[in-house]
Structure 1
Amino acid sequence: MPTAAKTAAEKAEVKTYFETTGFDRWKRIYSDSEDVNKVQRNIRIGHQKTVDNVLVWLQEQGNLQQRSFCDAGCGVGSLTLPLAQLGAGSISASDLSAAMVQEAERRAAETGVKPGQISFLASDLESLRGRYDTVICLDVFIHYPQAPAEEMVRHLASMAERHLIVSFAPYTPLLALLKGIGQLFPGPSKTTRAYTLREDGIVAAAAKAGFKPMRRSLNKAPFYFSRLIAFERG
């Protein structure tokens, strides 16, 4: 199958998963629900570490009230909602899954987010448009092979005025081995394809768009590995 067609097919599979079987599973993972297994609990812990890192970095940058943000791949609002509560000027939150976006909207209403502070949109990353002070994309590239992920980094960077923050599962021999072992467990309802990415390729893609890495973090818990990089326009 040609690369473009393969990528489109995989994206359709991810969309279907997160609007059916995967929606309930990931809604529980990204919540306080006790109805999660050990693997899901560790993914929750790891993802929260990544979100917490981003929130600390953004606060250190300062001036949140005067900045606009794009949370690309917002899921159920794990980053969007606390960022809004910190007083972010405006946030555009989008996700491939309409079900995830609806859940994020519901949670925003529950937390009393100021009307108009967040605009929600069901959209794939490729279709996003606009200009923002800061564009953030967390734990989304695990669904993209290396070449499409690098292209997406360039696209997201084109929307960012000053800051770009991304996270991804970094390629290492150990993770490659774990991924191979994971593929021994069948069941398309349990997961979608997972990709590890080479960090030098992601950094090079951002550099082509005029961004340089300023901060890095590796967040991990059992069954969760995420390289977080904050770029600034140089």
Structure 2
Amino acid sequence: MAPEQLLNDKQAEKKEVKGYFETTGFDRWNRIYSDSNDVNKVQRNIRIGHQKTVDEVLAWIEASGQFHNVSFCDAGCGVGSLSIPLASMGAGFIHASDISEAMAEEAERRARDAGLDMSKLNFAASDLESLSGSFHTVCCLDVFIHYPQEAAEEMVRHLCSLTEQRLIVSFAPYTPLLAALKGIGQLFPGPSKTTRAYTLKEKGIVAAAEASGFKPVRRSLNKAPFYFSRLIEFHKA
């Protein structure tokens, strides 16, 4: 495929994802990432799986002791599932962004309702490609499901360029079983298939980080029915 066509396809997909998360997607995922009982069985399991990933990231960060007086970037923050507890834990400063303005605004509302020090939190609407700056730690959780392999690897390299010490990412890992489930519609059933969902080859994600001077230091796999997430922490070599 010609580079121009690849660019056009990428821009069209970004527009689709942004539009989805500012309309029907916002309502759906705002309910999933909340205490609402207005969710179906699949959505409840996704909530459980995502929370397991967030809890593990928080545990890794807390165990490292590197969070006081440390800057964080929460890339693809959603409604603040990571940013809010991270701020409550005493993180030095957090820049949180999401492609959806509605998501970023909801995250900020939840942070204010939690009584957090907003001088240490900044919420903004931005896609991953537009992120800039320099942060001790960059986290990007369950966002790469919207990126095919090549684009996801490109985003890993970009996030590495913003990272001073530690990068933490999660993604739906490619396996023959997950590929088969996705092919027959059992991995992302019903309305959850409103936008394309991609599984990624871990080897490519790791290679992209290593090419940018980062090495993997730990991994885990969190799963619940209809939720599979490979979590990797990279440190600057």
Does 1:121 find its partner at 2:124?
yes
Tell me the SS of whatever aligns to 2:118.
Answer: coil
Residue 62 of structure 2 is aligned with which of 42, 59, 63? 59
Aligned 8 A contact 2:178 2:187 in 1: no
Compared with structure 1, are the counterparts of its residues 186 and 66 closer, same or farther at alpha carbon in structure 2 (3 Å cutoff)? closer
Tell me the SS of whatever aligns to 1:112.
Answer: coil
Residue 184 of structure 1: how far off its partner (Å): 11
Does 1:225 find its partner at 2:215?
no
Residue 78 of structure 1 corresponds to which residue in structure 2?
A: 81
Residue identity (%)? 72
Residue 8 of structure 1: how far off its partner (Å): 1.0
Compared with structure 1, are the counterparts of its residues 88 and 101 closer, same or farther at alpha carbon in structure 2 (3 Å cutoff)? same
Deviations 1:153-193 (A, max 9, x none): 00000100000000000000111011111189997785210
Tell me the SS of whatever aligns to 1:216.
Answer: strand
Q: Which moved more, 1:57-66 or 1:11-20?
A: 57-66
CA distance in 2, matches of 1:46, 1:185: 14
CA distance in 2, matches of 1:215, 1:187: 34
Number of corresponding residues:
234
CA distance in 2, matches of 1:94, 1:158: 17
CA distance in 2, matches of 1:186, 1:50: 21
With normalisation by structure 1, the TM-score equals 0.97
Residue 170 of structure 1 is aligned with which of 167, 173, 198? 173
Deviations 1:34-63 (A, max 9, x none): 000000000000000000010000001113
Does 1:134 find its partner at 2:137?
yes
Deviations 1:191-225 (A, max 9, x none): 21000000000000000110000010100000000
Q: Which runs of 5+ in 1 are unaligned?
A: none
Tell me the SS of whatever aligns to 1:17.
Answer: helix
Residue 108 of structure 1 corresponds to which residue in structure 2?
A: 111
With normalisation by structure 2, the TM-score equals 0.95
Residue 4 of structure 1: how far off its partner (Å): 1.4
Give the root-mean-square deviation of aligned CA atoms: 1.6
Aligned 8 A contact 1:21 1:189 in 2: no
Residue 179 of structure 1 is aligned with which of 164, 179, 182? 182
Compared with structure 1, are the counterparts of its residues 151 and 48 closer, same or farther at alpha carbon in structure 2 (3 Å cutoff)? same
Q: List aligned pairs for 1:132-211, cutoff 5 A.
A: 132-182=135-185, 191-211=194-214
CA distance in 2, matches of 1:98, 1:193: 20
Structure 2 counterpart of 1:151, one-letter code: E
CA distance in 1, matches of 2:34, 2:210: 35
Residue 90 of structure 1 corresponds to which residue in structure 2?
A: 93
Aligned 8 A contact 1:169 1:227 in 2: yes
CA distance in 2, matches of 1:56, 1:140: 20
Query: After TM superposition, which residue ranges in structure 1, 4 or more long, deviate above 6 angstroms?
Result: 183-189
Compared with structure 1, are the counterparts of its residues 184 and 110 closer, same or farther at alpha carbon in structure 2 (3 Å cutoff)? closer
Q: Which runs of 5+ in 2 are unaligned?
A: none
